[in-house]
Amino acid sequence: MKKRLLVLLLAVMMLMTTMICVSAEDTIITFMGWEASPLETKAVEDGIAKFEALNPGIKVQYTPGLAGAEYVAKLLSTVAGNSTPDVFFIAAENYRTFAEKGVLEEVTDKFTDKFSLDDFLPGAQDIMSIDGKVYGIQSCIVAPVVFYNKDIFDKLGEPYPDSDPANAYTAEEFRELAKRLTVKNGDTVETYGVYGLEAGWLTIPPFMLSNGVNLYSDDYMSSTFNTPETGEVLNWLRDIRVVDGSAPDATTLENIGMSAAQMLQTGKVAMIIDGSWALQQLAQMDFRVGVAPLPKFKEALTDSWAHLHAISAASKNKEAAWKFLEFLSGMEYQGALVAEGLWMPNRKSMYEPDAVKQWYREDIHGEDFLKMLDYFRDSRVAPLALQKSSKCQDVMTEETDMFFKDGQPLDITLKNVQDRVNEILKKLK
């Protein structure tokens, strides 16, 4: 009997605690995103706790889920079922489609002198603006960079890559470096020079931009893939991966049972090309990691993008939801995730010296990121973030995989990508 009473008492106490935490007067904002990693989800939850502390009377219920196509399908199902969250993540490549469907609340008139649209980096503005109107706020910027294991470089007597973009490796210098860093024991590769080049969606667009060409025309309604400059990029990637054998395929990681970060940590690869977000995990691993710009063709640059935060057009809590969107874009939230190494800022003011002091952490970023601030700030908008259909990206992946893995001729690959993408875009006109 006493045990039952104790259980009942605990249940009542828990109920009272819940009622205290969420009172009848509280405004509840539902918030949906995806879980890229447990570290990211924890960072989001910590940010929500800060927002609630700063905004008594507003509570945020966060639901993380699967990313990619599964997330889009889930979001579409909430729209169909009239249960769309008040605020949600939306990938840049899906942003325009959802805006055209009328799913997103327009927030153009919410920007003020205090919270200025002009404070966002030009690339962020390009992604956010649709015919002069804004329906979501970009969360941050993320960009592909080179990460490297300093111990491997020391062991092989190689100087560290310079983090100053002015001294970035040329494409051919990087290829030769990857060769020197590849260590074999007979037919067995003990250390590969670089990993990440097989992720065409991540690497082909910035290398094309570096070589002076884009994936699409200025209005993104036609493909510009079939160019000699694109061919130069693809041949270079094939040379490193296939001819030199300096880069493992993704199946190599699957067979070994390691992630790219673990391959870098254990010296299975000397360098990885990955999104800047990888720093959050790498900084917590027990080895000395360095960061450097991508190798260059004509110009040292990277491209950037990120998901947006948007308000549902059907939300009944739009005022509170806007407060949340402002918070997600500020130093309390965005700055905190930048400090953890997950993101880089997308607002000009956050690159000012006093602001950098608020988010820069020597134990996370080291000196490398300080030398690369202009590199991130001046990054080009990622073409894939503005493409009209995700099917275009699928086509590029399919055709380039046949070039790299099956020996499909270069001229056929270039032509097929352009023709197939133009066919997709033609149907959208």
Contact call for residues 375 and 293 (beta carbons, < 8 A): yes
Statement: 144-301+388-426 belongs to CATH 3.40.190.10: yes
d(CA 346, CA 376): 9
β-strands 269-275, 144-149 pairing:
antiparallel
Burial class (CB in 10 A: 0-12, 13-18, 19+), 362: exposed
Count CA atoms within 13 Å of residue 246 on its CB side.
22
Q: What is the pLDDT along the chain (429 residues), one digit of tens a residue?
A: 444 444 344 443 443 444 444 455 789 999 999 987 788 888 889 999 999 999 999 999 999 888 888 999 999 999 999 999 999 999 999 999 999 999 999 999 999 988 999 999 999 999 999 999 999 999 999 999 999 999 999 999 999 999 999 999 999 999 999 999 999 999 899 999 999 999 999 999 999 999 999 999 999 999 999 999 999 999 999 999 999 999 998 888 778 889 999 999 999 999 999 999 999 999 999 899 999 999 999 999 999 999 999 999 999 999 999 999 999 999 999 999 999 999 999 999 999 999 999 999 999 999 898 999 999 999 999 999 999 998 999 999 999 999 999 999 999 999 999 999 999 999 987
Rounded Cα gap, residues 247 and 14, in angstroms = 55
Q: H or E stretch including 268?
A: none
Q: Which of 221, 227, 224 is nearest to 389 (CA)?
A: 221
Q: Which residues pair with 170 in a beta bridge?
A: 296
CATH class of residue range 2-142+305-381: alpha beta
> Is residue 75 a contact partner of residue 313, using CB atoms and an 8 Å limit?
no
Q: Which one, of 188, 372, 181, 339, lies nearest residue 264 by Cα?
A: 181
* Distance in angstroms (rounded) separating the CA atoms of residues 309 and 134: 11
Tell me, what's the pLDDT at 158? 97
- For 169, other C-beta atoms within 10 Å of its C-beta total 20
Residue in the structure block whose two tokens are 């908008």: 381
Q: Alpha-carbon distance 223 to 202, whole Å?
A: 18
Tracing tokens 């037919």 back to the chain, one arrives at 187
pLDDT at 293: 98
The enclosing H or E element of 138 equals strand 137-138
Tell me whether domains 2-142+305-381 and 144-301+388-426 share a fold: yes
Written as one string, the DSSP assignment of 272-334 is EEEEGGGHHHHTTSSS-EEEEPPPBSSS---EEB--EEEEBTT-S-HHHHHHHHHHHTSIIII
What is the model's pLDDT at position 255? Answer: 81
- Give the residue extent of every domain in the chain: 2-142+305-381, 144-301+388-426
* pLDDT of 288: 96
